[in-house]
Structure 1
Amino acid sequence: MKNNIFKISALSAAVVVSLAGCGSDNNKAKTVPVVQDSAPTASDFAIADLKQWIPVTGEITAKDADGDALSFSFTENDKEIEGVEGVYTFSHGILTVDGKAYTYVSTSGEDAEIDYTVSANSKSASAKINIVGVANDPLAIQQWHLRNTGQKAYALSDEMKKGMINLYVTRFGFTEEAATTRINEDFAKSEEELVAGEDMNVSVAYAMGVTGQGVTAVVVDSGMEIRHEDLIDNVLPNRSINLNVEVVDRTDPTSTANSGDHGTSVAGLIAAKGWNGLGGRGVAPDTGLIGMNLLGGDKIPQTDLLVHGFPGSGISKSENISAFNRSYGITFPTFISYSELNEAIESYPNIHLRDGKGALNIKSSGNAFDSDENEGSLCKDNGANELGLTCYNGAFEPSQSHPYYFSVAAVNANGKHTSYSTAGANVMVSAPAGEFGRFSPAMVTTDQMTCINGYSGFNGRGIASWAAAFGEEFAATQYPFNYPGHADNESCNYTSSFNGTSSAAPNASGVVSLILSANPDLTWRDVRHILASTSTLIDADNAEVKLTVGEGEFVAHEGWVENSAGYNFNNLYGFGRVDAGAAVAKAKNYDVVLGEEVISSWIGAGSAVGEDALALEIPDNSATGLTHTIEVAEELNIEAIQFKFDVSNSEMLMAVSDGTQTSAGTDLAIEVTSPSGTRSVLLSSKQALFLPALNFSSGFLNGYILKDAVMLSNAFYGESTKGTWTIRLLDTSNKSFELSGGDKNFVEATGISNNTALSVLEGVSLRVFGHAGQE
């Protein structure tokens, strides 16, 4: 525009000079030249050799000889794409334009073409942008946990719909029309649960150049196929360990099972190699992998030490190990006594590895929200299922009751709780996992190679069970991606049906690997702080659950609670769903100083601190319950807090009388209120405390609901310890009922009788993990 002003000024000057010479006969009128404005030029250019989801930058090859301002428009398939503040969204990617500078992100992973027009001073020119050589992973577009576009991830397929309709007609007597209507309604309802955007935000981490380089994750599981085509480039050669008593190759933990290897699928979620044209990709696609086959079969005596990185595992104290993924656990209808020895073993990676900065133990929270098998129909019959209360509590398993294991819950593609994810105050964070891959998406990940082994193939568990019930033809329709012959999975090296908190944990391990890749100077406590600070509050309307107890009520589940330090917490989700982008951004700019970790002694009363047992009775079916307080004089900033209980009831026995088991265990509820007024439910009642307390050294402890029972709560993160801690124990029901049957319970009880003997608090104490002052 300045050039035009100059032209007008020059023309004006020429006219003035001409007028000034009008009085002279020697001057003649002069012709003023007309200046022509040239059109802009545009050239074809290529955006080449890029990676799916990774931004590339450059400059559009357009110009105007006169220096006029340029504007751009873009079309795809002859349709103009409307920009929003310089951002243009195409079917294949996103183009951001600022002047002539651009940033392009391929979302589809496919080569593409964009037509563009450059305009200047009412003139224009057109050319093409060719996007070529996009490195991708063909299954990544189905991995909703990484980038959720509302995709089905091979669930709700046309094949499945046809198979279901045919089954309803041939087996259940439906007419074709009635069957079609029924299945269409089921599909429509399920499709409402596909919600774009509900993911872990990994592409933002990738955009910052963080893909897991420089760290290694250890997969402690059933095995890991170290030669899998999509894992082999990340597997550290000769570093994995086979822990079976009898084995030829100690460096190969590849499973010999033929119906699916849990560990291989877990490994793919953490670190399937990215942008290699094979399968999908892991959350941290450039992270190294080591496998250890802990689960199944007889193991060598040193197993517990080796799977925690002790000397002899091949893991040095200086090696940059990001996470030990632990997608396994114990689900049994009793509260298992805490072991200080186990705590010492399980804390080794946190305290000693990475030159003392610590590696992370990432633990699945469990899959028993509705039920398991040893409690039978208890949680259906006592109302837990209908109310939406967890049947089992993560704290039943002692390894989830200290801060050295991060307990991870599972969420669906709609950002809400799965049907199975075990809840508890011990939950640290949640991560995507999905349901079962039929009516709603599960995980797309690596599977044992070939169609002979694996979840995918002739022997896959899901396929085999459906085939046994309704025939091979029907089975082929229910998991079409897993069934041999699918165009996207011809060699059956991948599966679309992996799920459970076994999936949530490795997804969180991948995020931890990204965090420590972004900033290897962080301690394990720093990572914990980052996750607590950056995880996404999901399912914001998650409702509280109230129980009528006697003449009052008890809030058995509170939904989301904001504590006095500003952290949001929920027993279903912990601090929320992990957000890789936000976590990596915080890691790269981390300026929090937590200081030295301080662990308090156990503070309390009675048998829990080695004193004479208390004899405090818990009234039956009373909302008032029994209240006990603990005064804490030391002021620490809480990172985690444990509570220890001894609660007895003379009727809590292994041997049932008259075919009935006491209700004393399932009626027990415990809440804690901090000096700042934050409330945390440790036990909600209606949980599967079906058997007496269990100590692995001495067996079942008849007469005890809880004995040396430790429960962790993360709800008080960031609060101060100092002041009065209020602990309330309740018996929430006086009802007896028959068990409806179905799966048999462990002691083959036929009913539940309300306890006639009152439960007794014999000891209670707390222990704090934290630091001095405020961060």
Structure 2
Amino acid sequence: MQLIWGSLSGLWFLILLITVDELLAEKASSPVGKHDGVFTSSFLVRFRRSVDNKEAHKIAGEHGFENLGPLVGSNGQEYHFKHRTLPHARSRRSLPHMRVLKKNPMIHTAIQQPGFIRVKRGLRPVVSSIHGLPYSSTKTHVDRKGVEPSDPYFPLQWYLKNTGQNGGKIRLDLNVQAAWDQGITGKNVTTAIMDDGVDYMHPDIKYNYNAEASYDFSSNDPYPYPRYTDDWFNSHGTRCAGEVAAARDNGICGVGVAYDSKIAGIRMLDQPYMTDLIEANSMGHEPHKIHIYSASWGPTDDGKTVDGPRNATMRAIVQGVNEGRNGLGNIYVWASGDGGEEDDCNCDGYAASMWTISINSAINDGQNAHYDESCSSTLASTFSNGAKDPNTGVATTDLYGKCTTTHSGTSAAAPEAAGVFALALEANPILTWRDIQHLTVLTSKRNSLFDAKNRFHWTMNGVGLEFNHLFGFGVLDAGSIVTLSKQWKSVPPRYHCEAGSIADAHPIVTGHSLFLEIKTDSCKGSDTEVNYLEHVQAVITANASRRGDLELFLTSPMGTRSMILSRRGNDDDYRDGFVKWPFMTTHTWGEYPQGTWKLEARFNSHVPREGWLIEWSLVLHGSKDPPYKGLAPITPHSKLAIVKKAHEDKKM
């Protein structure tokens, strides 16, 4: 287990581990904007001491509640109660129900849970595009090296092997054959699809379904089967599941990226309003049986929402990355968002979290998709739909034993990444959650990816790593990540350095940039010294007469400039602004953090605007010791070789 401070353990370690993301959770992880004023029939009940589930059941029943079980990571002190007669959503809190719980001498607090909106990304259900297939088995190849899958939809899976189908760019794909040829197919790895359910009876999925790791948090039972709707609205999770682990050579649909891996279904999206408790329990469900959690959803992609995980959910994610997989850490993969150029995924607290891996998408000729959001927190990219025909999307499984070729959006991109990470974990089962992020940075490729509107160019950071504001460090390469995983040595312990802050309010006016500087030694000589960067957070409080016109840029001491907030044309907010919001960049990965960091705030508007940058704190995350010591670069021109040389030159 990677410790922040080597001697810390247990609860105290976990409390200290929760850095800016959680210390500021009440403000930074709450929606910044108008509250929708919806309260659900769910209650967070905190007991004065730890109680077992049987005792909680009894207390719930005495007061007309149903006990839905303990909250993940609460050690039996926090439970999820649901009232039997309250409507699922109402406009006001029910004070009598909270009071009756608080009267119980064993209960410390009872909080009725607000409801909020979470949306599936990339879901465009068109029933006419769904196809059935006659099911027939084909003989499995004994030696599959160099042999393509025989599944009928494999020729349509251009993201697995791009031969130029539908106007695509040849060899612009995930390079999965190179991983498969090494005998790596995802064995003994389970990916949880957190979504609207999974059709676990689908013949292309059922033999790779992990029932023990699955659960339905919408209906509170172990069977996360999608709820029927006439418009196939709840097909989303099944489509994502097939991308990861659809079986090979069985004559059905296509093949998954990690076709010998397992899928767990976590049904949690299918209710009118989401709650913090449902999210938290989903993120922390069976953390030692589940290796990877894949999420293709988030706050509304309307270009004006600023929202993220609440307290319990953030605690569950942090606990997962530090204690899940028996201390190696769960991997949380997130779709970066479908708000297009009018949105910014740094305003999505899930995709922009340092604890998750944010994945954007490209289409089959290398362009970004029109719905892709851009932000500095994106780590890498995979694929969504075709260029010439937007209806040619990702070919995968669909509800009721069907197949589809129209799955798209960053929803389709995240499960592809989860499949690639499953391959890496089979190649090296002791990879930590941070190892996966480092491997992603070092093995992702620029390939033929480009910004269709020529706004964002490929840039090299201070240690020679090439990145793009749209695509992160490039498209995932399954062959390369598997090869490097096999010789990987786990990175040194992670530290976080609170590098400095500016608490004086400064005005921002149209036509002039505000520049602020923080000079830091990156906690040199202390227990939290950082010399090799991973994530960097700029925790900012600011307001503006029109929030959507505000742009923010962060420049590192090595000269790498990250746009941490872009203009959002739909965001008319003039009241709430940002309150201790942790903007994050991955663009300075591997750099040396000592020196002067510069923050620029400006308005991108022809109309006069005014605002205030009220507070800025800089938090650096990374390692004290060099992360790639002892690793031999596969080629002289690999990213690993480039970064190692930059580190050696710095020492000289």
Aligned with residue 588 of structure 2, among 695, 707, 716 = 716
Aligned with residue 296 of structure 2, among 293, 305, 327 = 327
SS of aligned partner of 2:206? coil
The residue identity in structure 2 corresponding to 1:406 is I
Partners of 1:348 and 1:256 in 2: how far apart? 34
In the other structure, the counterpart of 2:254 is 280
> Does structure 2 conserve the Cα–Cα contact (< 8 Å) formed by 1:225 and 1:255?
no
* CA shift for structure 1 position 437: 8.9
> Does structure 1 conserve the Cα–Cα contact (< 8 Å) formed by 2:277 and 2:312?
no
Partners of 2:227 and 2:142 in 1: how far apart? 32
* CA shift for structure 1 position 49: 6.3
Whether 1:345 aligns to 2:313 is no
In the other structure, the counterpart of 1:305 is 280
Partners of 2:500 and 2:275 in 1: how far apart? 38
Whether 1:243 aligns to 2:217 is yes
* CA shift for structure 1 position 358: 0.9
* CA shift for structure 1 position 710: 1.6
In the other structure, the counterpart of 2:603 is 731
Partners of 1:139 and 1:336 in 2: how far apart? 38
Question: Aligned pair in 2 of structure 1 residues 435, 150: CA closer, same or farther (>3 Å)?
Answer: closer
In the other structure, the counterpart of 1:395 is 346
Q: How does 1:447-526 map to 2 (within 5 A)?
A: 447-449=398-400, 493-526=402-435
SS of aligned partner of 2:342? coil
Partners of 2:199 and 2:397 in 1: how far apart? 10
In the other structure, the counterpart of 1:741 is none
SS of aligned partner of 1:583? helix
In angstroms, what is the RMSD of aligned CA positions?
A: 2.4
* CA shift for structure 1 position 362: 0.4
> Does structure 1 conserve the Cα–Cα contact (< 8 Å) formed by 2:368 and 2:452?
no
The residue identity in structure 1 corresponding to 2:384 is A
Aligned with residue 227 of structure 2, among 228, 250, 255 = 255
Whether 1:54 aligns to 2:26 is no
Question: Aligned pair in 2 of structure 1 residues 617, 403: CA closer, same or farther (>3 Å)?
Answer: same
Question: Aligned pair in 2 of structure 1 residues 638, 215: CA closer, same or farther (>3 Å)?
Answer: same
> Does structure 1 conserve the Cα–Cα contact (< 8 Å) formed by 2:365 and 2:387?
no
> Does structure 2 conserve the Cα–Cα contact (< 8 Å) formed by 1:221 and 1:293?
yes
> Does structure 1 conserve the Cα–Cα contact (< 8 Å) formed by 2:198 and 2:237?
yes
* CA shift for structure 1 position 621: 2.1
Q: How does 1:79-478 map to 2 (within 5 A)?
A: 105-107=146-148, 136-152=150-166, 193-245=167-219, 249-260=221-232, 261-297=235-271, 302-309=277-284, 313=285, 315=286, 317=288, 319=289, 321-330=290-299, 331-332=301-302, 333-336=304-307, 342-369=313-340, 390-435=341-386, 438-439=389-390, 441-449=392-400
SS of aligned partner of 1:399? coil
In the other structure, the counterpart of 1:85 is none
> Does structure 1 conserve the Cα–Cα contact (< 8 Å) formed by 2:449 and 2:474?
no
Q: Could you state the TM-score of these two structures normalised by the residue count of structure 2? A: 0.70
> Does structure 1 conserve the Cα–Cα contact (< 8 Å) formed by 2:192 and 2:292?
yes
Alpha-carbon deviations, 1:47-79, whole Å to 9, x = none? x96639932xxxxxxxxxxxxxxxxxxxxxxxx
Partners of 1:674 and 1:544 in 2: how far apart? 26
> Does structure 2 conserve the Cα–Cα contact (< 8 Å) formed by 1:218 and 1:323?
yes
In the other structure, the counterpart of 1:529 is 438
Alpha-carbon deviations, 1:447-488, whole Å to 9, x = none? 0016xxxxxxxxxxxxxxxxxxxxxxxxxxxxxxxxxxxxxx
Partners of 2:153 and 2:450 in 1: how far apart? 33
* CA shift for structure 1 position 441: 2.5
In the other structure, the counterpart of 2:64 is none
Partners of 1:544 and 1:772 in 2: how far apart? 39
* CA shift for structure 1 position 435: 4.9
Alpha-carbon deviations, 1:609-643, whole Å to 9, x = none? xxxxx231112123xx0000012212421111111
Partners of 1:200 and 1:679 in 2: how far apart? 29
Question: Aligned pair in 2 of structure 1 residues 688, 722: CA closer, same or farther (>3 Å)?
Answer: farther
Question: Aligned pair in 2 of structure 1 residues 227, 329: CA closer, same or farther (>3 Å)?
Answer: same
In the other structure, the counterpart of 1:645 is 540
* CA shift for structure 1 position 518: 0.8
Partners of 2:491 and 2:271 in 1: how far apart? 42
Partners of 1:446 and 1:725 in 2: how far apart? 48
Alpha-carbon deviations, 1:682-702, whole Å to 9, x = none? 12325443225xxxxxxxxx2
SS of aligned partner of 2:298? coil
In the other structure, the counterpart of 1:615 is 505
* CA shift for structure 1 position 566: 1.6
> Does structure 1 conserve the Cα–Cα contact (< 8 Å) formed by 2:277 and 2:313?
no
Q: Could you state the TM-score of these two structures normalised by the residue count of structure 1? A: 0.59
Q: How does 1:9-24 map to 2 (within 5 A)?
A: none
Aligned with residue 594 of structure 1, among 491, 507, 515 = 491
The residue identity in structure 1 corresponding to 2:596 is T
Alpha-carbon deviations, 1:412-441, whole Å to 9, x = none? 111221111111001111001115994462
> Does structure 1 conserve the Cα–Cα contact (< 8 Å) formed by 2:283 and 2:313?
no
Aligned with residue 500 of structure 2, among 589, 595, 603 = 603
> Does structure 1 conserve the Cα–Cα contact (< 8 Å) formed by 2:215 and 2:266?
yes
Partners of 1:628 and 1:690 in 2: how far apart? 25
Higher relative contact order, chain-length normalized (CA < 8 Å, sep 6+): 2
In the other structure, the counterpart of 2:125 is none
Alpha-carbon deviations, 1:284-316, whole Å to 9, x = none? 00111110111121678842232112xxx3x25
SS of aligned partner of 2:592? coil
Query: Which structure 1 segments of 5+ residues have no match?
Result: 1-47, 56-104, 110-135, 153-192, 370-389, 451-492, 546-556, 607-613, 652-663, 693-701, 736-753
Alpha-carbon deviations, 1:221-247, whole Å to 9, x = none? 0110111110000001343211124x6
The residue identity in structure 2 corresponding to 1:263 is G
Question: Aligned pair in 2 of structure 1 residues 687, 526: CA closer, same or farther (>3 Å)?
Answer: farther
Partners of 1:237 and 1:728 in 2: how far apart? 50
> Does structure 1 conserve the Cα–Cα contact (< 8 Å) formed by 2:367 and 2:450?
no
In the other structure, the counterpart of 2:612 is 760
Question: Aligned pair in 2 of structure 1 residues 501, 766: CA closer, same or farther (>3 Å)?
Answer: same
Whether 1:636 aligns to 2:650 is no
In the other structure, the counterpart of 2:117 is none
* CA shift for structure 1 position 399: 1.7
Larger Rg computed on CA atoms: 1
The residue identity in structure 1 corresponding to 2:319 is Y
SS of aligned partner of 2:305? coil
Question: Aligned pair in 2 of structure 1 residues 437, 257: CA closer, same or farther (>3 Å)?
Answer: farther
Whether 1:666 aligns to 2:562 is no
Q: How does 1:549-564 map to 2 (within 5 A)?
A: 557-564=455-462
